[in-house]
Amino acid sequence: MSALFSNLFIFLLATFLGLEVIRRVSPLLHTPLMSLTNAISAISLVGSLTILGRAENTLSITLGAIAVVASMTNVVSGFLITDRMLKMFKTRTPGAGAAHGVIFPVFVLAALASGTVDVQSQWTTDLTYLVASGLFVMSLKWMNHPTTARKSVAAGELAMFMAIGGTLLALSNDPELTRLGHTPAYGYIAAALALGAIIGYPISLVPMTAVPQRTAFSHAFGGLAAGLVGTSEYFLGIGRTGDLAISNVTVGIIGFEVLLGFVTFTGSLIAFGKLAEILPGRPITYKGQNAVNLVLFAVAVVCIGGVVASPTTWPLYVGFCSLALLFGVLLVIPIGGADMPTVISLLNSYAGLSACAMGFVLNSPMLIIAGALDGSSGLILSIIMCKAMNRSFANVLFGAFGKPQERKALGEEKPIRSASAEEAAAILGNSTSVVIVPGYGMAVAQAQHKVRELYDALTKKGVNVQFAIHPVAGRMPGHMNVLLAEADIPYDKLVEMDDINPEMPQTDVALVIGANDVTNPDARNDPTSPIYGMPIIDTDKARTVMVIKRSMSAGFAGIDNPLYTMDHTLMLFGDAKKFVGDLVKELGSSQ
């Protein structure tokens, strides 16, 4: 019991440290942060390697191998795509590295390789884990600004390398293997690690517009690994007797780990399906849905309670696992596509907490620390997303927000003013200040590179161009920042909503590209609107507003946007990529 309280103490300290570090991360880097923590959540690889390396029976070998492949897929794809994203943010101090942060670990590894350190001693493994834990913390800390963010990947990769190395060292002196008279199954481990790396590499090469669905897909791998490791630990535990028999407390912790792991697994697959448009993006609801979910959750709790009371009742455990998998599906299907930033963040938090629970089961402080850091990151980003939408967690998870709303009778409809590319280019070229407001429509049209060309054309004419970034624009935290960085937009031109809004009344033109609800004035002015109270970018306060949009269709909230019928608004109908390209041509011909 003393070990449990020691681990709880570590968990609380790591959580508070994580919250303090994550809240300082620049909003510019929320998408790379999500990918980085996704890779760190693959610390479940430590537990997976332990299960596979012991190779106690066929079931543990099978579950352990799948868990290692899933975790290694996350490690490789997560770190590689994070590095890709961070390379897009042009720093003012190129070449700055993290050498000072890795000197000590390098000396440790050199000592191990030279034979001056006894690799069979427990302190070697503990020291390796300690340094890895510190590097995980520094990896997140360096994400607080684009100029230091590249160090984050180097620190995270080294930390994961040391975690894997420490685990292999621990297996070489594992008392459980000694008891069984076995040697570590290094062949199985090598094969599973190689397969995971082979799968992870192509996943890291997805286009930046597909990063949200890649992240959701990777969360599924992390959740699966945690659930399988917990399941393996459970079945191994109930086969032991005497002092080695599994305790009721351990079964309870395994239940928590497996619940979060399997909910993350199936929930992330549903989120991936919605983001990839394999499944409908709208909320999928039915009568009494929340009540059904609550009943299923209660039944799952009863099942795991029965297992805790009598650990050998494995049929109840199997039923519990099945309900956890089903609950993940039912939890996400009523959530609309544009709420995915919050959902992805929450699933990231769940993956971290499941790794934390694994640390309690395996008595591994490093697992607890890394899992708590990941859980803290997901929680902070979820809070930011909910605040940006003026919504609660309960409303996002259970509100089925995003259903089409009935149009209000407004009497005589106001006329819509539209303009051609030639007319719009003339207005833009004669402006002194332009604020571009990107949204999910820009991502769908893959127009970010044409937007860069527009930025260059206007800048050459002496126009001051800035980009207004809403926290929930896109399909994951910081999505617009990454897309614009991919197009080489200087990151100091990407301005957060709270900083740009005071400048909007002095702005000549606000050019909206694919954004809808985040520019809707009803959020400020109409108490009956479903989005009333949601912070928006004050595009309507600019002297002229231009909106590039395919049609007058409603946004995610399913409501009309009065911005489109205001007297100083011009609608630019067409595909965003093509229309922006036409603007660039017109601006070039007018020089």
Q: Choose the catalytic residue: 83, 174, 374, 517.
A: 517
Does 517 participate in catalysis according to the annotation? yes
Instruction: Please tell me the total number of residues recorded for the chain in this structure.
Output: 591
Q: Rg (Cα) of the chain, in Å, rounded?
A: 26
Q: Chain centroid to CA 249: how far?
A: 31
Asked if 438 contacts 580 with a C-beta cutoff of 8 angstroms, the reply is: no
For the record, the structure tokens of 335 come out as: 């959530």
Token match 């070489």: residue?
172
State both tokens at 443: 């991502």
Question: CA separation (Å) from 482 to 45, 55, 257, 536?
Answer: 28, 42, 32, 20
- CA dist 419 and 279 (Å) reads 36
Cα distance between the two ends of the chain? 77
Alpha helices by DSSP H, listed for 400-510, are: 421-429, 440-445, 448-460, 479-486, 497-500
The amino acid that residue 393 corresponds to is F
Residue with tokens 């899992």: 371
145 class by beta-carbon count within 10 Å (0-12 exposed, 13-18 middle, 19+ buried) = middle
Please name every residue paired with 469 in a beta bridge, in sequence order, or none if there are none.
Answer: 496
How far is CA 163 from its chain centroid? 22
Helix (H, G, I), strand (E, B) or coil at 526: coil
What are the structure tokens assigned to 41, written together? Answer: 């959540």
Is residue 60 within 8 Å of residue 193, measured between CB atoms?
A: no
Distances (CA, A) of 89 to 28, 110, 133, 179, 491: 9, 33, 27, 52, 6
Tokens of 304: 């795991």
Residue 361 is encoded by which pair of tokens?
């089961």
Longest CA–CA separation in the chain, Å: 86
> Which of 343, 354, 337 has the alpha carbon at shortest distance from 268?
343
Query: Quick one: CA torsion of 78, 82, 83, 84, rounded to 10 degrees?
Result: 110
| Active-site annotation, residues | 517
